[in-house]
Structure formats: structure tokens, C-alpha cells
Structure 1
């Protein structure tokens, strides 16, 4: 057959075909609109979401940096500053601790010096506002309202002065009159008093010490593998006391990047399946037309150009429509829907969606590529059909055209046969719907697991922990028993409080002995002290009371949690009876392999005759068990009954309080009212899970709202994908359905068959989502789980989505079938076959 090279005629045919087949082409147009809308909306909202996640991490870290180093020498600092991969470095220096003020005798606040780079550049993104100037004189401080309130100095402002007692690096307790040179608010260490460089120089601290220096590193790169991080740490030649910690952004940058790529790939797969399925249905329904074109001299190359020109016209219009629709949804509808659902951004204002020009280009490119890839096989099918085949073409019945008499009820069997008749088409429908549901599942799980309520943790998941701050004073004469049995009873009687867990405390000494005590002290000095253990070993042997420590008693109800923190199997009966104990590790490099078979002997402080010996059963790193103060010897943890038998007058160091309803604001207010009304209110401190959650929510800003928006878009995409596909499928089957009605199928039977078909598709997509989709979700979640939050599948959103998807899968075929019937009677529709 001779080719007719008439491109203009083909272009005119493409345009006329579009005008004359508006119904079919409208479905193709809508599928392209939906694909570009999907990509644009997901990329726009996704970029906004992860920008806000980055902002959240900056706020939670208190600054914009990628790693922090504890203690830094001049050589290490010079090496980092000369490293081309490091954009900037900043120093924070612990310069002392305020222990009291003129209004409060139990203050616990750090004095911190920040160098200009750290304060003006690294920490600036985490601040909301600053008034005044950073301290320059040795008696000036920069504070927050919270720091002043916790120090009993509420109401003071810039220019006011106060007197405070602080302890310097040499252990001296000094008093100074401070002037407030500035105030700030935002995120980070808000209970600290920021001091001048002059104060730091006089403090007796040095940034080379791990107890003092906090060297912040901001890398000039987005991705740094774990191997590169380890190589960088090794290049610094760290001392035993030094450590480098990477932030979540840098530490998990590569896994997060691959997780995002996976989500983007699944989104592109949804777009590809949508376009491919619609084009496949459109071309297969028009095979006779393309075959007959060849009888009048059109070559395969010209047919290929005809279809591609049609796709170009539809693609350009569809991409433009998708971009406009995506912009409207992302910037107008989405924030309104989120507010309609009752979700508020609070202090952060309206939901903020940002537009990146690269998103437009990426959407156009990916949509064009998807149209090209999705149309390749349908175009090949149109070109390959011969005129003879086209004249007698009927839709394929699958690989085996023979009909068998089946068993079971007729209508369910017909519905199943229809699903299995073209397995590839059915697979595309199920996979496309499951892909959208899987991405929805993944994002919903990420939102639920990374929500403030999930990532905020507390000891034993208590709602609030109350501590007796007088026990932190170095002079035992100033210790007072504030959490008495009467006060604890009053806490238990607060409506909404379900349980109170007291932690019993007593002072002890650990006499020297060559086996365990010597090993512990050697490691402690190497880790935390600037002098060798040998300098003070003789004093420890002679006067162990100069090296005091504490013993803590936990209740039987708290034992299971202690067991979890130890990470080894504890003998409950042995522990509760006082034969074994657990030690607080205090950051030392000791393991149970080092302490296997060893025992620790404790003596009552001030009474060396009263001693107890315990087998060391485990080590814990749980900071809750560090006690009011850390001694050189270990903190020993036993059962509360043992402490009461061993120590004549033990006191409650702190109490964990759990509410009947988690995050109950009314119960929390009643508990706080009881604490604040106490005559010893200034000597209490507390850690509230509710307050921590609110702080995290404030740091997250609109991140959760934008994430919900992405999930809503994905849910809509999955539904519209199915609607487009099933509508086109039923339009293609209208001849078959008309014939079935002509041989006696009633409307009720037809509707039942369509409902069952929808249920088969819904069931298949839900099963695929619950298996492969859940596996992919878990893998992506673990790669992006930089906060080590537990994997939590949101049950009710998924149940709601499953019910809704099932309803859609049932309702759309019914609606499409009803629309088909309205086109005419059975006789009229059969005549058109």
C-alpha cells in the first residue's frame, strides 16, 4: 500500500475527530487533566509539607544546623572551619548554673554564651522576636519570659536587674547582680540565661571540655550518607569525652530522599495507569475505525501520527486544565476544606501553600512523558490491526474464547467472568486504585505516627512528672520532704487522675573495693572528669562520704517499665526482694559484659555501718532514673520496699502522674492549681506531656494541615481514577449490556451484576493495599522515621476510606448504567450495534 504523505489532512482529521467524538475524547481529556492535577497538587503540597517539616526540625533543634559536637579543640575547630563542605560553625558554651535568685531558692537554669555566628545566624531562624541586644558586659543576660518565670522573676523586662547565685566551672557558688540587656521568644533552650563572652571567660569553663562546648556545624549539602558521616567523625580524632551527633535532617537525609522518591514514583504510576487505561479503552473501542482508514489508503505511520496529534491537542488542553485545577485546589480549596473540617493552624495563621516554578515544569514534563508512554501500546494496537480484522472486530474475550457452563448463581458468575474476561484491564483498574489507596495509607500513617501526640513521650507515658527541687541542693541540710504522703493523696484525689507513681530517694555512699567500685570510678573519670582517677583514688578509699551518690526505689507497678529500659531479662522476685539492682549508666561505656557477676555495696550516707549489697542485674539509660543529682559512684535502683527498709527517712524525689484520659486539659489544670497553691510552690518543678505536645504542635506549624491536604488529594485522585476508568469501561460495554437486556436481563439483575463487579474491584484493591501497600508503607515509613516514633496505622481514617471506596465502587457503575439506559430503549440501543 502506498503511503499518502498529507500531514495537513491528518491534522484536520485529528481536529474533526476530536469534535465528532466529544464523549470519548472528553474522558481522555479528563484523564489527562486528572493526571496533571494529581502531579501538580502532590508536588506543590508535598514540597510545602517537607519545607514545614524542615522548619519543624529547626524549631525543635533550636537552630539551623546539621551536627553538634560536644567539646571542641582549637585543632578540630580549625579543621572544620577550613572544610569546604561546612558552610558555617558556631559555638555555645555552658558557663555556669544559676541555683537561686532573690525570689526563688531552687532555680535550675544554665548560663550559656553563644558566639556571634551561633546567635545571629544559626539560632536566628528559630526565634520569633528579639528586643534589646545580646549581652556584652559580664553582668548582662538575654532571657525569655519563661526563664524569668521559672526563676521567680516574672514581670521583669529589658533594663531591669536582679540578684542571683550561680555556680562556676570550679564549683564555686558566687553571687552577682545581673542586668537584662535583651529578651527573646521562639524555640530552643528557653529556660537558659544567655550571657556575654566576658562572663564565659571568667567562668572557669572551656569549650574544649565536653561539659561546656557545643560546637554547631552547618553543612553546605543536603545529603550525607551514614558512611560519610562516620568518615567525618573519624577525621576529627575525638577524645573519649567528645561526641558528634547529626540532626534528623542530615542523619536521615538519604533515607528520607529515597522515601520521597518512592512516593513520587507511586504518584507517577497512578498517572500512568490512569492515562494508559483510558487510552486502551478508547483505542480498543475504535479498532474498526482505524482498520477501515487503511482501506482508503492511510498507512500505519499516518494512523500513528493521527492518534499522536489527537493526544497532543488533548494533552496541551489537559495539562493546562490540570495546572489550573491543581492551583485552585492547592491555593484556594484545600485550605478552605481543612478549615471546614475544624482543623486550625492556631498561632501559625492560615495554611500556607507555596508554589515552586520548577513544579510547573516538572508537572508538564512528567505528564507529557506519561501520555507518551501510556499511548505507546494503544497506538501500536491501532496500527497493527488489518482492515479484514477490523471489519469483524469485537472486544476480546480473553485468551480462551470458548465458553464453559459454570457452576453457581448466574449473576455473580457473570460479574466474575466480566472481571476475569480481560485480566490485564482488570489488573490495571485494581492496581491503579490500589496505588492511590497505598499512597493515602502511607501518608496517613506518617501523619498519625509523626503527630505531636505520638512523638511526645514521657516516663512510663505519664501525663505529668512533679519533682522536689530542694533535693538538688548540694547541702543536705536544705533538703525538705515536699511530696509527702498527704500531698500525694491529694494528688490522687484530683478528678481525672488515675494513678500516681512515686520515686523514693535516699543518699548513700559506695565504699571502695577493687572489683566493681574501682572499675566504675576509673571509667567515670575517663568519661567526665578533666583529671585522672589516680589523683583522687586515695581520697575515695579513705573518705567515700566525699563521693556521695543516691539510691532510688521504684514500685512494683513500675517494674515492667524499668524492665523495658534495661533491655535485659530481670528476675522480678529477686529484684523486689532486694537481692538485685539496676544501675543508671550515666553515659559510660560499660556494658553488662563488663559487670557480669559483680555486686555493688551501698552504705547509708553518714552511717557506714548500715550497708546493703546487691547483685548488678542490669544498666539503664533512662534519664528519669538519674536521681535529683548525679554522684561519681553509680545511682542504684532497687524496689521502694528495700529503700524504706535500708534508709531511715527516705523521701519522694519525684512523682509520675497519669490521667484517666490522656492529654486531659481540665485534669492538668487542677493538678497545676494544687501545685501552685502549695506554700512550697516555688520548690516544685514539673514536666508536662500536654505542654510538650503543644510546643511540638507550635513547632510543626501547618505541617499537619498540609499533610492532611495531601492525603485528601490522593483520596480524590484514587476515586476519580476509578470513576474515569469504570465510566469508560461501561461506555464500551453498552452494546453487550443492551444484548443482555434483549434476552431477558432485568434492570435489577443488571444493577446487581454491576454492583458485584464494583465489589470485586473494591475487594481486589483493598486486599492489594492491605498486603503490598502496607509493606511499601512500612518500608517508606521506616526510611523516613527520623524521630524513631512507633509505627501506628490510623485505623478509623482507613476504615472510613475503605467504606467510602466500596461505596464509590458500587455507586459509580450503577450511575453509569442508569445514564446508559436514559439514552434510549433496549430496541433503540440494539439497533445501534
Structure 2
């Protein structure tokens, strides 16, 4: 009968000394723990930082947290809206006028003067601006300026307390104003043609301005109210004259297909990391227990209980964790705080560069969770090795081989001695170990191939082919009059190296409702947005009373551009009829999959001049990306495309909208510099194919470094796991191999048998890659297309072939090398040494 001792100090001493005598094992275990902790902490930190910064960027571009606006509200309307309890915040802005300077008119820029309520500035505007210095104005003579406004005024160096003078148009009158600068801030409009000056409430009262006459009520809806709010507001709040609610929901608040797809990829990566980390730590500890099993058997003979032996094994693992986890967390923090800001600056170095913060969301919870997760992984990983060490008897410990071989029925065959069959039997006689090998190799490889698939699918060529076919694009975002005039276009044509300038014009004209062309578009759009037929019917009834609701964006396409579209388009149309104004096009997106069944004519009317024309319509699926986007219109109204000459017959006061410019490659830098300067002076949006390609290449490099780094680490983990398990397999079978050699099997035959084992490992892993792996790769490709609509699913064939070659080399060479190093002594010495 055994009596368990309770010598905790001795157990601690044995645990510590055992650690000191297994330095190589410790290094492997600590590395495994460091890698697991590092990957978990850095992936979560990078992911959460990116999500928060991306949300901030969208909010900054949007300009406010307000969801709804109502122009010129009455006191009664405001009180009613407050009583409905739909909002978290209600503020307002009052337009005070604008700065009246010739330089602003010449450069097609403007500076707006306005007043914000305290709730509007603090709760609705502040989250969308940054770099705030000073305070909001409270005195009539104080003003707070956006940095862009100061730039337009030639006061970029102005400081808080400086005096600023300018002529301002207030309530229709131009007066010279002098203000003291009380604050400065930064805005993030995509079209950088507007600056803002914020004045005090006292200034508004002094100049006879008011919310009801000159302002907008701004409402931030509760998340739970967003779906029902439009219907409730329209029903409960009585509108006056031309008043109407404008809805502008934050695009980051709702889960889109992109968000879901991105989350799916992130979860997949985290699962791969966790499983790979578990396998690595498990293998290292499993090998250590196998190697020391005789030692644990001897401990049992002197009275150590199974529970105490388990404590020794777990104690070693926990001590190794105390060394590995902090190092992993430090490395994760270094990557998060060092690489994340740099990566985000490169990824968003385009138009949104300033709007995208590079802040790292340091949350103690992330690192605490990573530490606990790694610790849990270690505890789970050492359970099985601890159980083996604790439950094995003294006699079994002396002859333990590490293989759990069940006795099978005797088989009489002449094939049993064939080396390739012996190798096959050796692999699967310890099924759990075989599964771990395959999982380790497969997980690391498939992560690498998944990253390669993602990067290959979103390569720069795919983006450029879909979105940036022309060398340069200049856009008058709001189609404002005079921003792009004939003089401006002629200057562009005169730039040396410019070959072609493709032009588009736009106008807002009224469509005549019909059931053949417009009703299917309304039905499709209302269906997509989950709106009911009753809501559509309500809109159509309103439109009968207010014809302006049928005003839509009409885009005029010049002959050069329509010829290029016709040449590159997969679907054809009568180009001559289009040029003559005998055909108009509508993009098929408004109609869904059944667009080819839509036929009919459409009447377009200029309500200012009374001119109207009826045109045959063709619904056209544009794959060229040359058809410009339309300006905002009523829900469901499609954008109409016609020839420029036909549009000018309807409306002589059209505005130039988008210019596509192609030039000679050797003059590209000079053209780029000149067009960028000209666009900036007029507050126009400018895009260059070369700059876009360079930006995208930078982002590709960052993604390759981050994604490739993680996947290569996982591949190394997989290979390390394989090598570790092969070491275990050879070590625990040394006696068996020595006995086989003693009865006539040569070392060459043993090496060949072990090589066959490696071949099977490589072969089965390859089959897994080409079957299950291809399914995973296809899934990643599908998710990638949802994340980026320009992506083209690309199978990483070169990477697959390269990885398979590497796996075969490692799997074929490793077993033989290990056996050679383990059998330097004679057969007799090896058998005695093992016993």
C-alpha cells in the first residue's frame, strides 16, 4: 500500500532542476509559447485598430454623426421630434453667409460661415474633425476656422488670438468683418474646395439670423430607431412648403457583405493561429515527456504519486509560460505600435490619407486575453503528456516506446516484410500522432496559400483594369457651374503629351413616369432596400403632386468617349443612333438580373424651358467603368445617359462633369504635375493612374509583409512540428529499430523504410492540399471578391507547387538524417543503452 507524501518543496525543486537539465527542450517550448502569444496579440490588436480607424475615417468623410437633417425647422417641429424619443442627440447649424473674395471665385473654392449649437459641435461634429486647438467662439468678435479656410485666406500660419479680416456676404449684403481667432480644426471633405468659419450665437443674433429662417436641424438617431424613423418622422412631424427630411446613415453602423467577409477571413486566420500554436506546444511537451519517461518511472519507485508527477509536468509548462508569454506580448505590442501606423499610412496614402487615423487601439483587454489564451493553450497542451507521465507504471516506464499499439490478429502473408508496407503500418499504428503531423503541416501550408490567394486576387493589375483605365480623371463632384469651363478644357488639351480628352456633361431634368422603363427600376430598388410596395405607392402618389421628385441626373457623353465605350463593352448598342440622339442608355444595375426584358421609351422634360423629348431606351450592362456615376436623385430613379449634343438641345445650361484624359507615357510626370495643380486650384477631384498604381503597390507590399510573415511563421511551425514528431518517432523506436537491425535488417533498409514514411507524410499532405486545401482556397477567393469587387479569383499555382516541393524535400530527408544521428553506436550498445 502506497502513502502519498506531501513534500511540495521537493516537487518544486524537481520541477526546477528538470527544467535546467532540458535547455534545448525549454528553448523550443518558450519559442512555441512566444510565437503563439505574439500572433494572437498582434492579430487582434491590428484587427481592432483597423476596424476603429476605418470607422473613424468613414465618419470624418461623412462629416457628422447626424443621421437626419431638416431645413428651416419651426419650434413646434423641434419639440415634436424631441417628444418622439428617436434621437440620441439633436443639434443645429445656422448658415451665416460666406466669405466674398475674388481669389475664391477664381480658384472655384469657397469659405462658408456658420454657427453650430453646442450639442451639434460637441456631439455631432467633433467626432468627425481633428487637431482641435483653442475653443468654440462665444463672443461676437470671435471665430473658429478650419485649416482649409485659413489656407484659402492666405493665413495658414495664423495662431490663436490673431486678428483675421475679410469681406463677408451676410444676409445678402457684403460687409468687412474683423474677428479674433479663437480656435482651429481640421476637416476631411473628399472634395477639398470648402473651408469653414464658425461664429458665435451672439453673432447670429446681432445679424438677425435664426434657425427657422437660415438653419438646419440635425438629428442623430438611436440605433434601434433607424429602420422605423423615416416612417415615424414623416407621419408625426407636419412639414411646411418644400421641407423634407434628409437621411444620411453612417455606413459603418450596419454590417455589410464586406464587413462579414472581412470578419470571416480574420476568424479563419485566428483559428489557424490558435490550432497551430496548440499543436506546436503540445508536440514540444509530448516529446519532453517521452524523453523523460524513464525518469518519471524512477520517481514512482521512490514514492512519488501520479498526481505529483502531473504537477511536475504542468509546473514545467507553467514556468516556461511565465518566460514565453511576456516576451510574446512585448513583441505583439512592438508590432502593433510600430508596424500598424506605418501600414495604415501606406494603405491609405490616397485621397483619404488624412481622414484615416493611424492610432493603435491599445486595450489591456486584448493583451490580457492573449496572455490567458496562450496560458490556456499551454494548459491544454500539457494535459495529455502529464497524463502519460502520471499514469504509467514503474515497469512500463522502463520499456515505454511512445506508441500505443493494439495487439492485432496474426496475419500470414508474404508481403509483410516489404519496406513500403512496413512504413505505412508505422505511420498509422499511432493514429493520433499521424493526425497531428498532417494537421500541423496542412494548417501552416493552407494559411500561406490562403494569404497568397488573397494577395493574388487583389493585385494592382485587377484594380487598375477595373477602375483606372484612363491615365487621368478630373471630376467636378457636385457638377457646380463654372468649375470646369471651356478655357480649362482647352488648357488641358494644350499640355504637351496629352492625346485625348473625353468629356461628359450633366443636367438635372424631369422624367415622365411610365410603367415600362421606370416602374421596374423602382420595384427593384425598393425590394433591395426592404421597402414595401405600400411605401413605393406612397412615393408615387407624392410624385404625382410634386413632379420634381422625378428629377434625375442626365449625363451627356461626347462622341469620342461613347466610341471607346462601344469598343470595349461586352454588350453592344446602336452607336450611330446614340450619337444622333435617337437612343439613350440606362445602366443595368438599377434593374437587377432581368434587365434585358426591359423595353420602352422615356420622356425627358426641361421644366425651365418647357422643352421635352421622347427617346427609345436600352438597358446596358457596363463593364467598361467609363459611364460616370449619376448625381443624387430620388430613391429608384436611374441615371440616364445620352449624347452630349442631344442633352444640349434639351438644356443649354449643362455643366461639365467628368474629364477622362489620356497622354503619352514619356510625358506622364509633367502632365500629372500640371493637371494636379490645375485641379487643386479649382477644388476638383483628381486621379492619376500612375499615382493610384504606386499607392496600390505600396499597400500590396504591406499586405504581403504582414500576411506573408504570419503565414511563413505558420509554415515553419508546421515543419517544426513534423521534425519534432519525427524525432519522437525515431527516439521512441530506437530499441525496435536496433532489434530489427540485430536480426538482419540493414541500416540502408531502415533508412529506406523511414524515407517511405516521410514520403507518405508528404504524399498525404499533398492530397489534403489538392482536395480540402483547394476548397479552402476557393472559399478565400470567394470572400476576397466580396471584400473587393475588383478582385479576380486566382489560384496560387506557383506557390502550391513550391510548397509541395519543399514539403517533399523536408519529409524525405528528415527521417533518414535523424536515424543516422541516433545510430552512431553499435547495435548491442544501443539495445543495452535503451534497456
TM-score by length of 1: 0.68
In 1, Cα distance between the equivalents of 2:553 and 2:341?
57
Q: Does 1:61 align with 2:76?
A: no
Partner residue, 2:278: 272
Q: Does 1:429 align with 2:437?
A: yes
Q: Is the 8 A contact 2:317 2:382 kept in 1?
A: no
Partner residue, 2:619: 617
- Report matched runs for 1:468-507 at 5 Å: 472-473=480-481, 480=486, 482-483=488-489, 487-488=492-493, 493=497, 502-505=502-505
Q: Is the 8 A contact 1:67 1:247 kept in 2?
A: no
1:325-371 deviation digits (Å, cap 9, x = unpaired): 31453355898899999x98999999987765445643454344334
In 1, Cα distance between the equivalents of 2:103 and 2:451?
52
In 2, Cα distance between the equivalents of 1:473 and 1:562?
31
Q: Does 1:43 align with 2:49?
A: no
Alpha-carbon shift at residue 242 of structure 1 (Å)? 3.8
Cα 1:744–1:822 shift into 2, 3 Å = closer
Q: Find the residue that maps to 2:684 and give its secondary structure.
A: strand
Q: Find the residue that maps to 1:248 and give its secondary structure.
A: coil
Q: Does 1:802 align with 2:803?
A: yes
Q: Is the 8 A contact 1:29 1:314 kept in 2?
A: no
Alpha-carbon shift at residue 390 of structure 1 (Å)? 6.4
Q: Is the 8 A contact 1:550 1:627 kept in 2?
A: yes
Q: Is the 8 A contact 1:67 1:244 kept in 2?
A: no
In 2, Cα distance between the equivalents of 1:350 and 1:98?
30
* Pairing partner for 2:377 from 370, 390, 396: 370
Q: Is the 8 A contact 2:146 2:197 kept in 1?
A: no
Partner residue, 1:566: none
Cα 1:319–1:799 shift into 2, 3 Å = same
Q: Find the residue that maps to 2:747 and give its secondary structure.
A: coil
Q: Does 1:636 align with 2:640?
A: yes
Q: Does 1:770 align with 2:773?
A: yes
* Pairing partner for 2:131 from 129, 138, 141: 129
Name structure 1 gaps, 5 residues minimum.
564-568
Partner residue, 1:322: 324
Alpha-carbon shift at residue 649 of structure 1 (Å)? 13
In 2, Cα distance between the equivalents of 1:265 and 1:398?
33
1:444-474 deviation digits (Å, cap 9, x = unpaired): 7778889999999995555631247997328
1:587-610 deviation digits (Å, cap 9, x = unpaired): 999999999544124589999899
Cα 1:829–1:36 shift into 2, 3 Å = same
In 2, Cα distance between the equivalents of 1:657 and 1:187?
27
Cα 1:471–1:250 shift into 2, 3 Å = closer
1:561-616 deviation digits (Å, cap 9, x = unpaired): 988xxxxx87577985765423489x999999999544124589999899562225
Partner residue, 2:556: 551
Alpha-carbon shift at residue 552 of structure 1 (Å)? 3.4
Q: Is the 8 A contact 2:472 2:662 kept in 1?
A: yes
Alpha-carbon shift at residue 104 of structure 1 (Å)? 3.6
1:393-449 deviation digits (Å, cap 9, x = unpaired): 553457868779799997766655544443321211221343345555667777888
Q: Is the 8 A contact 1:281 1:732 kept in 2?
A: no
Q: Is the 8 A contact 1:581 1:636 kept in 2?
A: yes
Partner residue, 1:654: 658
Cα 1:366–1:514 shift into 2, 3 Å = closer
Q: Is the 8 A contact 1:600 1:615 kept in 2?
A: yes
In 2, Cα distance between the equivalents of 1:315 and 1:388?
26
Alpha-carbon shift at residue 56 of structure 1 (Å)? 3.6
1:749-803 deviation digits (Å, cap 9, x = unpaired): 58855763663475366447734643675688799x5x87758679599669937
Q: Does 1:820 align with 2:828?
A: no
Cα 1:764–1:318 shift into 2, 3 Å = farther
Q: Find the residue that maps to 2:249 and give its secondary structure.
A: strand
In 2, Cα distance between the equivalents of 1:739 and 1:352?
64
Partner residue, 1:243: 247
Partner residue, 2:675: 675
Cα 1:436–1:468 shift into 2, 3 Å = closer
Alpha-carbon shift at residue 805 of structure 1 (Å)? 6.2
Partner residue, 2:746: 744
Partner residue, 1:7: 6
Q: Is the 8 A contact 2:64 2:125 kept in 1?
A: no
Q: Is the 8 A contact 1:127 1:185 kept in 2?
A: yes
Alpha-carbon shift at residue 732 of structure 1 (Å)? 3.1
Cα 1:276–1:354 shift into 2, 3 Å = same
Alpha-carbon shift at residue 314 of structure 1 (Å)? 0.9
In 1, Cα distance between the equivalents of 2:775 and 2:489?
53
In 2, Cα distance between the equivalents of 1:775 and 1:358?
34
Partner residue, 1:34: 32
Root-mean-square deviation (CA), in Å? 6.7
Q: Find the residue that maps to 2:438 and give its secondary structure.
A: helix
Deviates more, 1:764-773 or 1:695-704: 695-704
Paired positions, count: 780
In 2, Cα distance between the equivalents of 1:140 and 1:609?
50
Partner residue, 1:185: 186
Alpha-carbon shift at residue 305 of structure 1 (Å)? 0.9
In 2, Cα distance between the equivalents of 1:152 and 1:490?
29
Q: Find the residue that maps to 1:688 and give its secondary structure.
A: strand
Q: Is the 8 A contact 1:71 1:207 kept in 2?
A: no
Cα 1:121–1:669 shift into 2, 3 Å = farther
Q: Is the 8 A contact 1:466 1:654 kept in 2?
A: yes
Cα 1:595–1:772 shift into 2, 3 Å = closer
TM-score by length of 2: 0.68
Q: Does 1:78 align with 2:76?
A: no
Cα 1:463–1:311 shift into 2, 3 Å = farther
Cα 1:573–1:534 shift into 2, 3 Å = closer
Partner residue, 2:241: none
Q: Is the 8 A contact 2:33 2:325 kept in 1?
A: no
- Report matched runs for 1:715-794 at 5 Å: 717-736=717-736, 743-746=745-748, 749=752, 752-753=755-756, 756=759, 759-760=762-763, 763=766, 766-767=769-770, 770-771=773-774, 773-774=776-777, 777=780, 785=787, 790=791
Q: Is the 8 A contact 2:756 2:812 kept in 1?
A: no
Q: Is the 8 A contact 2:441 2:722 kept in 1?
A: yes
